[in-house]
C-alpha cells in the first residue's frame, strides 16, 4: 500500500491509499482535478471516503463519480452531503482493498464530522491537525475535547493524515503557549525544512502530536499554566483549558 497526499486548493490534502496495481481509496476529494491528474499516472479510484460536509472536502465527488460510476462513496449521516452513498456512524467498519476501516465520530468542527482509522493510519479531516485542531464551528468545547481525546487514544505509531497543511502556522501558536517544549521546537524546525523543500509535513505520528500539540496536551502542567496566566486564575478543569486555548487560537495572529 502506498500513501500519498495530493495538494488541492491552497492548503488542502486529498489523501490517496493505493495498491501496486493502482486501485485507490481517496479521502476528501474537495476537487476532482488532482485525482484526475493522478489517474493519468495509472490510478483508478475505487472508493471515496468523506469526513465532513464542507465543500473543500466533498466538492470533487460528483465529477469523480461521473467518470468512475462504480466508485463506492462513504460519508456520515448528514443532509448537507446530498449524495447517494453508504452512510457511516460511530464504530462502523468496512473493508476496502483488504484494509479494514473503523469510523470514529468526532463532532466539534461540524456536528457530523467523522474520522477513519485503519491499522496504522488515521484520516482526521479537519478535527486534528498537526500542532492544532479544527475551528469549532458547530460543537461545544466538551464535545470537541472528547473527539480529540478519542483520536489521541489510538496507538502512538498511528500516522495522522490531516485535511490541511497548517503545521507551520499552528507551530507559531503552539510555541506561544508552550515555548519551552523542546519536542515542539524540533518539530517546528523540521516542518520549516520540509516546507522549504516543498514537501508535506504530513503524515505525522500520533506520538509526536501527543508531545507537541497543545490541544492534545490540555492535561500537561505547562499548558495548564499558560492558560492560567491568560485567565488570571486557575482553569477549573480540562474542558476550560481546552475552551480557552481554542479561543486564544481563534484570536491569534502570528
Closer of 46 and 114 to Zn ion (Cβ)? 114
Among 126, 165, 178, 244, binds Zn ion (CB under 5 A): 126
Taking CB under 5 A as the criterion, which residues in 34-73 touch Fe ion?
56
- Pairing, β 132-133 against β 159-162: unpaired
The residue range among 13-21, 41-49, 158-166, 239-247 that interacts with Fe ion, by the rule CB under 5 A, is 158-166
List the alpha helices (DSSP H) in 74-114. Answer: none
With respect to Zn ion, which residue has the nearer C-beta, 54 or 187? 54
Instruction: Decide if residue 53 touches Zn ion (CB under 5 A).
Output: no
CB of 48 closer than 8 Å to CB of 62: no
- Contact range with Zn ion by CB under 5 A, out of 37-45, 94-102, 118-126, 223-231: 118-126
SS3 146: helix
- Least Å distance between CB 143 and Fe ion? 18
Q: Which is nearer to Zn ion, 131 or 175 (CB)?
A: 131
- Residue 184's H or E segment, with its range, is helix 182-196
Residues 112-131 that bind Fe ion (CB under 5 A): 126
Q: How far, in Å, are 183, 193, 199, 201 from residue 189 at the CA level?
A: 10, 6, 14, 11
CB 14 within 8 Å of CB 50: no
Helix boundaries (H) for 99-181: 141-152, 167-177
- Cell representation of residue 152: 489521541
Is residue 165 part of the contact set for Fe ion (CB under 5 A)? no
Binding interface with Zn ion (CB under 5 A): 54, 126
Binding interface with Fe ion (CB under 5 A): 56, 126, 163
Amino acid at each position: 500500500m502506498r500513501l500519498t497526499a495530493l495538494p488541492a486548493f491552497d492548503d488542502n490534502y486529498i489523501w490517496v491509499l493505493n495498491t501496486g496495481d493502482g486501485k485507490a481509496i481517496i479521502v476528501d476529494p474537495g476537487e476532482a482535478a488532482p485525482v484526475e491528474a493522478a489517474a493519468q499516472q495509472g490510478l483508478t479510484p475505487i472508493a471515496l471516503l468523506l469526513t465532513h460536509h464542507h465543500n473543500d472536502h466533498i466538492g470533487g465527488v460528483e465529477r469523480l463519480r461521473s467518470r468512475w460510476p462504480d466508485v463506492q462513496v462513504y460519508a456520515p449521516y448528514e443532509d448537507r452531503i446530498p449524495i447517494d452513498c453508504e452512510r457511516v456512524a460511530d464504530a462502523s467498519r468496512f473493508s476496502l482493498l483488504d484494509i479494514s476501516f473503523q469510523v470514529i465520530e468526532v463532532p466539534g468542527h461540524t456536528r457530523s464530522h467523522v474520522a477513519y482509522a485503519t491499522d496504522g493510519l488515521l484520516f482526521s479531516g479537519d478535527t486534528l491537525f498537526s500542532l492544532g485542531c479544527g475551528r469549532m464551528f458547530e460543537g461545544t468545547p466538551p464535545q470537541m475535547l472528547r473527539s480529540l481525546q478519542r483520536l489521541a487514544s489510538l496507538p502512538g505509531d498511528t500516522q495522522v493524515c490531516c485535511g490541511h497543511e497548517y503545521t507551520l502556522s499552528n507551530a507559531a501558536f503552539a510555541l506561544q503557549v508552550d515555548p519551552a517544549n523542546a519536542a515542539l521546537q524540533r518539530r517546528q524546525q523540521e516542518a520549516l525544512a520540509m516546507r522549504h523543500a516543498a514537501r508535506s509535513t504530513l503524515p505525522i505520528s500520533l506520538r509526536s502530536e501527543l508531545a507537541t500539540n497543545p490541544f492534545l496536551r490540555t492535561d500537561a502542567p505547562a499548558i495548564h499554566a499558560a492558560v492560567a496566566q491568560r485567565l488570571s486564575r486557575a482553569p477549573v478543569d480540562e474542558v476550560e483549558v481546552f475552551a480557552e486555548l481554542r479561543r486564544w487560537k481563534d484570536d491569534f495572529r502570528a
